[in-house]
Amino acid sequence: MKIITPGEGETFDIELEENLLAKNRELAEANRRRLDEKGVRAFDVMGAIGAGKTSLIGALIAHLRGRRVGVLAGDLTTTIDADRLAERGAAAVVQINTGKECHLDANVVAKGLDEVLQQGVEIIFIENVGNLICPAEFPLGSHSRVVVVSVTEGPYTMRKHPYILREASVLAINKSDLAPMMKVDLEQLRRDALAVNPTLQVIATDCLNGEGIEQVAAALGL
């Protein structure tokens, strides 16, 4: 088998992106300073379509009842996730529609913060666009990044997607109840993830039934 690995400058957009990424990092740092000044904790949640990002955030909001939680929900065009999270009891919900953009960036998140910080929230969850690749390179200024992977994505997710795991501090392996039926070995997924990033806190979750939510909250210091 032949393996092709494009070299530096061989793909179109490497140099252009360097400037974008540097600018994004600056704006992310500004977001972080703003959150810290107000004493607000923020967490961003990344993962593929259907991994369970919205279900995880919804379960965390239920777990944290009594505290004022804000949500920024990123999606290409719809308000499906934001609607679901408003129903779960979020004190403030902002939908960020990115159009064809495949990730949130620190600039659109700054606009979202303008809105939710006015509502006097203590905790903010930022749900990224459903994508296991592009969000990794765009820090948003949150205090921790969470990745959600569903066992229904099969046995190779951790090995195929090292970059996003390296950016995260918490990994939720979701729909863990389906692992036997999907013939996916939870312990192997955990080992694969830790081989990529040994500092990850890896938690098996079943967000629809509340399994593992307390552990995720504790891992985030909540």
Neighbour tally for 65: CB within 10 Å: 9
- Is 218 a binding residue for its own copies by CB under 8 A? The answer is no
| Minimum CB–partner distance for residue 221 and its own copies (Å) | 28
Tell which positions 21-80 bind its own copies, by CB under 8 A. Answer: 23-24, 48-50, 75-80
Residue with Cβ nearer its own copies (67 or 111): 111
Residue 77: C-alpha distances to residues 74, 116, 177, 208 (Å): 9, 20, 31, 25
Number of residues in contact with its own copies under rule CB under 8 A: 64
Distance in angstroms (rounded) separating the CA atoms of residues 108 and 103: 10
Residue with Cβ nearer its own copies (67 or 163): 163
Residue 108: C-alpha distances to residues 2, 18, 62, 68 (Å): 41, 19, 26, 22
Q: Which of 30, 64, 86, 194 binds its own copies (CB under 8 A)?
A: 86
Q: Which of 162, 167, 185, 217 binds its own copies (CB under 8 A)?
A: 162
Residue with Cβ nearer its own copies (62 or 118): 118
Distance in angstroms (rounded) separating the CA atoms of residues 123 and 126: 10
Distance in angstroms (rounded) separating the CA atoms of residues 188 and 192: 6
Q: Which residue type occupies 180?
A: P
Q: Which of 1, 9, 187, 198 binds its own copies (CB under 8 A)?
A: 1
Specify the DSSP element, H or E, that contains 165: helix 162-167
Rule CB under 8 A: which residues touch its own copies? 1-6, 10-13, 16-17, 20, 23-24, 48-50, 75-80, 82-83, 86, 93-102, 105, 107-108, 111-112, 115, 129-134, 136-137, 150, 152-154, 156-157, 159-163, 175, 181
